[in-house]
């Protein structure tokens, strides 16, 4: 392990999470493939007194590159990896894509993990910054007693990335956010696995064509909106913009028969589909879920 940089915040964050891991019993880590859960899984495997199980759900909602990343790390770190089908695609409540879709996603995930966690604590990669966003999945976690070490140790996203870099996990430290593909579909539009796979293909095409760090292909009721990080979007010529939109709308039409106009836009978080509610209100609501007595 590399020497931790001389930053009080980074040192303390790493010390807190290390102590948490060394005091915990057996863990089952839910690893989505993103920086938070992957860094947590690496630390759990390296520091826990008992070998943890790392669980990863394979689903049309999970980008293929995320699953490949989990498998690659499992080989490199010698994880005890269990890949599973969480079953959310068989849940009509999830497929209806309500505002609290993530609650049903996590309910299915934790139900699938539970049989291998009878004598273990299920842990997620949620970090302190997540409390400022609408996170109905925290309610599903609370119902099964799942815990969130980053939150309990008061570690935010920036500190997670710093810890990943300190541990030599450079690919994780710089990894752009990658929420599930269902977040690309506007609330109330039914989730279709074929659409999710087509969205993933489209985002790959845009990344290859533009070199964008962040790409979202969002399906709205009236249009397909291709969101790209602002710097990349500003650098595109009119011809590149037209080509990008044309490629995506044609791809969606050929793959799933979707015929909607397309447009480019600067990247916004998927929660833009949700109406109302400030980050302060979200934080208060999430805090109540994590600590009902607060």
The number of beta carbons lying within 10 Å of the beta carbon of residue 15 is 12
Q: Tell me how far apart the alpha carbons of residues 121 and 66 are, in angstroms, rounded to a whole number.
A: 23
Whether the per-residue pLDDT at 57 is higher than 50: the answer is yes
Q: State pLDDT tens for residues 223-259.
A: 999 999 999 999 999 999 999 999 999 999 999 999 9
Nearest to 225 by CA among 266, 193, 274, 259: 266
Whether the per-residue pLDDT at 140 is higher than 70: the answer is yes
Give the range of the structural domain holding residue 268, as residue numbers without chain letter.
188-273
Contact, 244 vs 210, CB < 8 A? Answer: yes
Instruction: Report the number of distinct structural domains present in the chain.
Output: 2
Mean pLDDT on 131-153? 92
Where residue 76 sits, what CATH number does that domain have? 3.40.50.620
Mean pLDDT on 31-58? 96
CA angle, 227 then 59 then 53, to 5°: 115
Same structural domain for residues 61 and 138?
A: yes
Same structural domain for residues 141 and 213?
A: no
Same structural domain for residues 155 and 131?
A: yes
Same structural domain for residues 12 and 102?
A: yes
Where residue 235 sits, what CATH number does that domain have? 3.30.70.2210
Whether the per-residue pLDDT at 6 is higher than 70: the answer is no
Task: Give Cα separations from 202 to 31, 197, 217 (angstroms).
Answer: 24, 9, 7
Phi–psi pair at 253, nearest 5 degrees: -70, -45
């Amino acid at each position: 392990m590399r020497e931790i940089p001389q930053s009080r915040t980074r040192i303390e964050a790493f010390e807190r999470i290390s102590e948490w891991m060394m005091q915990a019993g057996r863990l089952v880590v839910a690893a989505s493939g993103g920086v938070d859960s992957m860094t947590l899984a690496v630390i759990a495997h390296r520091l826990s007194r008992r070998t943890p199980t790392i669980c990863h759900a394979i689903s049309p909602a999970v980008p293929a590159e995320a699953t490949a990343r989990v498998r690659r790390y499992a080989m490199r770190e010698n994880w005890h990896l269990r890949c599973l089908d969480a079953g959310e695609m068989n849940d009509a409540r999830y497929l209806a894509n309500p505002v609290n879709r993530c609650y049903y996603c996590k309910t299915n995930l934790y139900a699938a993990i539970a049989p291998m966690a009878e004598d273990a604590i299920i842990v997620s990669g949620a970090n302190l910054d997540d409390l400022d966003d609408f996170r109905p999945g925290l309610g599903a976690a609370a119902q099964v007693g799942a815990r969130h070490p980053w939150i309990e140790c008061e570690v935010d996203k920036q500190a997670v990335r710093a810890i990943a870099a300190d541990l030599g996990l450079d690919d994780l430290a710089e990894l752009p956010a990658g929420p599930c593909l269902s977040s690309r579909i506007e609330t109330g539009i039914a989730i279709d696995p074929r659409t999710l796979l087509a969205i993933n293909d489209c985002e790959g095409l845009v990344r290859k064509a533009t070199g964008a760090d962040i790409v979202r292909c969002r399906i709205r009721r009236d249009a397909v909106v291709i969101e790209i990080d602002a710097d990349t979007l500003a650098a595109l010529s009119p011809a590149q913009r037209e080509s990008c939109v044309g490629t995506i709308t044609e791809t969606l039409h050929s793959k799933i028969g979707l015929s909607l106009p397309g447009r480019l836009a600067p990247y916004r978080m998927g929660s833009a589909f949700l109406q109302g509610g400030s980050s302060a209100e979200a934080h208060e609501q999430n805090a109540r879920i994590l600590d009902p007595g607060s």
